[in-house]
Chain A
Amino acid sequence: MDLSSINWILLLASLMVASTPILLAAIGELVCERAGVLNLGVEGMMITGAICGFAISVETQSATLGFIAAALSGAALSMIFGFLTQYLLSNQVATGLALTLFGLGLSALIGQGYIGIKGLEIASLHIPLLSDIPVLGPILFRHDLMVYVSIAIVAATWATLKYTRAGLILRAVGENHDAAHALGYKVIRIRLMAIAFGGACAGLGGAYLSVVRVPQWTEGMTAGAGWIALALVVFASWKPWRILVGAYLFGGLSVLQLNLQAAGLKVPVEYLSMSPYLITILVLVIMSSGRSRAALNAPAELGRSFHASS
Chain B
Amino acid sequence: MTLKTLLAGTALAVGLAGAAFAEDKTKVGFIYVGPIGDGGWSYEHNEGRLAVEEHFGDKVETIYQESVPEGADAERAMTQMALGGADLIFTTSFGYMDPTINVAAKFPDVKFEHATGFKRADNVSTYSARFYEGRAVQGHIAGKMTKTNKVGYIGSFPIPEVIRGINSAYLHAKKVNPDVEFSVIWVYTWFDPAKEADAAKALIEQGADVVLQHTDSTAPQAAAQEAGNVITFGQASDMADYGPMPRVSSIIDNWSPYYIQQVQAVMDGTWTSVDTWDGISTGMVKIGEITDAVPADVKEEALAMVEAIGAGEYHPFTGPINKQDGSAWLAEGEVADDGTLAGMNFYVEGITGEIPQ
- Nearest neighbor of B158 in chain A, beta-carbon distance: A269
Q: Which of A7, A118, A223 meets B192, CB within 8 Å?
A: A223
- Report the tally of A-B residue pairs with Cβ distances under 8 A: 93
Interface string of B189-229 (1 = CB under 8 A from A): 00111110111011101111000000001110010011000
Q: Is the CB of A118 within 8 A of B198?
A: no
Q: Which of B35, B36, B183, B218 meets A262, CB within 8 Å?
A: B183
CA gap between A266 and B186 in the complex, in Å? 12
Q: Is the CB of B191 within 8 A of A218?
A: yes
Q: Is the CB of A262 within 8 A of B217?
A: no
Chain A residues within an 8 Å CB radius of B354: 266
- Nearest neighbor of B189 in chain A, beta-carbon distance: A223
Q: Is the CB of A264 within 8 A of B353?
A: yes
Chain A residues within an 8 Å CB radius of B353: 264, 266
CA gap between A5 and B150 in the complex, in Å? 11
**A263 interfacial by beta-carbon distance below 8 Å:** yes
**B10 interfacial by beta-carbon distance below 8 Å:** no
CA gap between A264 and B37 in the complex, in Å? 33
CA gap between A254 and B43 in the complex, in Å? 29
Given the contacts A255-B202, A263-B206, A116 and B219 also touching, CB distance less than 8 Å: no
- Nearest neighbor of B195 in chain A, beta-carbon distance: A223
Chain B residues within an 8 Å CB radius of A223: 192, 194-195
Q: Is the CB of B356 within 8 A of A7?
A: no
Q: Is the CB of B186 within 8 A of A119?
A: no
**B352 interfacial by beta-carbon distance below 8 Å:** yes
Q: Which of B199, B201, B226 meets A121, CB within 8 Å?
A: B226
Chain A residues within an 8 Å CB radius of B186: 261, 269
**A213 interfacial by beta-carbon distance below 8 Å:** yes
Query: What's the dominant secondary structure at chain A's contact region?
Result: loop
Q: Name B326-357 residues within 8 Å CB distance of A.
A: 352-354, 356
Q: Which of A7, A216, A221, A264 meets B205, CB within 8 Å?
A: A7
Q: Is the CB of B192 within 8 A of A262?
A: no
**B39 interfacial by beta-carbon distance below 8 Å:** yes
CA gap between A261 and B188 in the complex, in Å? 13
**B67 interfacial by beta-carbon distance below 8 Å:** yes
B66 to chain A, nearest CB (A): 9
Q: Name A248-281 residues within 8 Å CB distance of B.
A: 254-255, 258-259, 261-264, 266, 268-269, 273
Interface locus among A10-18, A84-92, A187-195: A10-18
**Between-chain CB contacts (< 8 Å), 11 pairs:** A6-B206, A14-B202, A14-B205, A118-B222, A216-B219, A218-B193, A259-B205, A262-B185, A264-B183, A269-B356, A273-B188
Q: Give the B-binding residues of A (Cβ under 8 A).
A: 5-7, 10-11, 14, 18, 115-116, 118-119, 121, 209, 213-216, 218-219, 221, 223, 254-255, 258-259, 261-264, 266, 268-269, 273
Q: Give the A-binding residues of B (Cβ under 8 A).
A: 35-39, 43, 67, 152, 183-186, 188, 191-195, 197-199, 201-203, 205-208, 217-219, 222, 225-226, 241, 352-354, 356
Known: A214-B194, A262-B184. 18 other contacts (CB 8 A): A18-B198, A115-B36, A116-B37, A118-B241, A119-B222, A214-B219, A216-B218, A218-B38, A218-B193, A219-B67, A223-B194, A255-B198, A255-B202, A258-B185, A258-B199, A259-B206, A268-B356, A269-B188
